[in-house]
Chain A
Amino acid sequence: MTTTTATGSPLLATAPGRAGLRQGILSEWTKLRSVRSTWIALLVIVVAGIGLSALISNVEAGRWGTLGAADRAQFDPVRFSQAGEFISQFVVGVLGALIVTSEYANGAIRTTLATLPRRTTVLAAKAVVIGAVIFVVSEVTAFASFFVGQAVLTAHGGKTLPEGSTILTQVKSSFIPVATFSSTGAARAVFFCGIYLTLLALVAFGFGLILRHTAGAISLFVGVLLVIPLIVQILPSSISDSIEKFLPSNLGLAMIVVTTRKTDFAGVLLSPWAAAMTLALYTVVIVAVGGWLLARRDA
């Protein structure tokens, strides 16, 4: 054995550079892709996204002829196409939590932290991989769902409203309104649906880092999305009105709705960009707390 380092290791140990983010990303990707549950979860995102888009668009299209003016005003062809987001948000939450909690469950986190002793590198590698995978799958799904949804509406005789149309045009329209990419807010809403899911995955990742426990992290995640809104609803409206728009689920809504923004959500939601920035801020804070704990705690 050639003794080239103080520990007496052969050739490899003296290679230039050091184990860093690039190596961490490659490894995390191998780990993620090599378990079946990842692919099942990603498939659920795609199927739920496209399937619910077709289903909801079909149901809503069937009702168009019977809708009164108020309901017609709330007809949101973009939002219908993104209905799968309600299910996908829990799936990305599970995936985001598992990338860290599954390693705590079986002790593999120690191996991970021994292979890459700089813990910020481990944090970044995991965040990049889970973020990138969820982003790509969610965006592809969001855009596919959009086209499927509009195709279903078109099949029911829907047409694109002429340029410069208002809610009033929509209410008076004899045919079902269909969105295109150039419709105001449509492309942004679809793109933001993928962003919403990506940020949620990272929020769950942060919860996983903080709690180091799968069931705990997922419960907290579900609690934030489903339970906290219920609690806020029973508060006096003087309080709830000011809190509601900052709830993660409502931030998601604010990022995704188009037509309904001016009707049933008028004044309730933040603007799409403000909502996205707020959720991004939450995400950064939660992941930073998780990363700080990861660096400080014993593994």
Chain B
Amino acid sequence: MIEAVGLSKSYGKTKAVDDLSFEVRAGLVTGFLGPNGSGKSTTMRMILGLDHPDAGTVTLGGRRYHDLHWPLREVGALLEAKAVHPGRSARLHLWSLAQTNAIPKNRVDEVLDLVGLAAVAERRVGKFSLGMSQRLGIASALLGDPGVLLFDEPINGLDPEGILWVRNLLKSLAGEGRTIFVSSHLMSEMAQTATELVVIGRGTLIADTTVDDFISSNTVATTLVRSPDAGRLAGVLTSLGATVSVADDGALVVTGSTTERIGEAAHAAGIRLHELSPQQASLEEVFMDLTADAVDFHGTSGATVPR
């Protein structure tokens, strides 16, 4: 379990993380969602004791990272896939990491197999594609068979097959009871990978919830209706309590009702319909709306977000 309490971090005038508190529970995949520059990587670095918070604490199972006796055996992390000496082979890179925490040598081959890099284990890492580097980063995170795993944008640079592989890996790791904290700037990706969500914008917490709740509470269902008798239909629907607006092409956009109720009302009034279709705001739109302020005013140092 990861517990952050009041985490704050500034770099000069940039407030990267601002009074951030959240919990990440074991046995679940928790998505860490925020636009670029919202403070995800900074938070990850503070969890690992790499950057010192200006205020607040973050603990893993009640202990600070610094106090873990064999950190790699408890926490695995993928921060930057390319953060490896290009001249070193994948196997020796992993072996050098394993040695720091007295992890046996056969574990290196195990994780190379697990991520599908066994065939290129002797090749110099500098020759790896971004996708292969991501797999190597995941291998190093898994080296110590840790109970807590942090992945910072692990699907960057992966092909669709690789993305699916990461998704399933994260789910199966969570299924084994591990704590999985994975960041992304893509809502759609999180929706398919995570069940829990920590959403941040400009370093502050926007939502700490489940993916399902986040979507349903932030998505407004609308219905698109086309009719040759649109004017009359609008009046009928408004009288039933729905909100109706007219799109550029004359279609009606109805909120506060359902396709069933609109269809019944039209039938009862004898109005013909040419189209009746439910519209879901895309997850990406929801997320964009929520973090819009955070993005618009990113880089300024004001404490409040002007509207």
Instruction: List chain A positions with a Cβ less than 8 A from chain B.
Output: 1, 3, 5-10, 12-13, 15, 17-19, 23-24, 26-28, 30-31, 34-37, 102-103, 106-108, 110-118, 298-299
Contacts and interface: CB of A to CB of B under 8 A. Distances in A.
Interface string B43-79: 0010011111000000011110110111111110101
Give the interface residue-count category, chain B: 35 or more
B99 A114 contact: no
A236 to B, nearest CB: 43
Enumerate the 7 nearest inter-chain pairs by beta-carbon distance, A residue then B residue, closest first: A6-B61, A107-B83, A9-B147, A18-B69, A8-B147, A7-B61, A115-B100
Contacts of B103: 12
Interface string B171-194: 000001111000000000000000
B295 to A, nearest CB: 25
Contacts of A3: 147, 177
Contact of B145 (A10, A37, A106): A10
A5 B71 CA distance: 12
Contacts of A102: 85
Contacts of B50: 110, 113-114, 298-299
Contacts of A106: 82-86
B179 A110 contact: no
A298 B42 CA distance: 10
A201 B14 CA distance: 37
B195 to A, nearest CB: 17
Given A107-B83, A112-B100, A115-B100, 16 more contacts: A7-B63, A7-B146, A8-B1, A12-B73, A13-B70, A13-B147, A34-B87, A34-B89, A35-B87, A110-B45, A113-B49, A114-B49, A114-B72, A115-B72, A117-B66, A117-B68
Contacts of A111: 79, 83-84, 97, 140
A12 B70 contact: yes
Contact of B97 (A27, A113, A117): A27
Given A36-B87, A107-B83, A115 B74 contact: no
B199 interface: no
B287 interface: no
A299 B82 CA distance: 16
A115 B63 contact: no
Contacts of B96: 27-28, 30-31, 34
Contacts of A35: 85, 87-88
A27 to B, nearest CB: 4
Given A7-B75, A8-B177, A298-B52, A31 B70 contact: no
